[in-house]
Structure formats: structure tokens, C-alpha cells
A = this chain, B = another copy of it.
Amino acid sequence: MLYHVRMDVRLPADLDPGAREEIVAREKEYSRRLQRAGKWPQLWRIAGEYANFSILDVADHDELHAVLSGLPLFPYMDIQVTPLAAHPSKVTG
């Protein structure tokens, strides 16, 4: 099932640079593992903001929450979830 997710990151400006680098690296690795597993098929940077639009493809709401709350940056994020249905005008392959 597909979910549209907007994530806004609010890292405190006075965060220790080493700690910042470390958490951002863990976030990247976490995201890539999910992308490779086919659970995070789309990921775009919102131009000019420390934020992204993502499409997640998971089994259900519980897996979605597990994936999102497991993000290393989760404590610093505002997250907004929108469930996506098929669109009647969509051209299919």
C-alpha cells in the first residue's frame, strides 16, 4: 500500500557537528536499506528546504509507523502522512 509522506527536519542549530554528521549518516544508511528493500520507492528533496516528499510502499499502517518512527532523525522531524488510492485517470502500463 502506498503512503505519501512529507518530512521536515528541524535539527537544533547548536547540535555538536560530530553528532550531527553521525546521525545524518545513520539516516542515509537507514533510508537506503529501505529503498533497496522496495519499501521507499520515491524520495525527493523539496527545493530550498531541509525536507522531503517520499512515497512509502508497505504492508499496512503498523509497518508504516514502524518504518517512520525508526528513522534516526525521527525525534527531529515533523511528519505528515497521506494514504494514496488509485486514480481513475491513471494510465496503466
Contact = CB atoms under 8 A, between A and B. Distances in A.
A5 to B, nearest CB: 7
Given A27-B89, A32-B89, A76-B13, A47 B81 contact: yes
Nearest to A76: B13
A81 B12 contact: no
Nearest to A81: B48
Interface residues of A, number: 48
Contact of A64 (B2, B48, B69, B88): B48
Contact of A44 (B28, B36, B43, B84): B84
A3 B36 CA distance: 24
B47 A87 contact: no
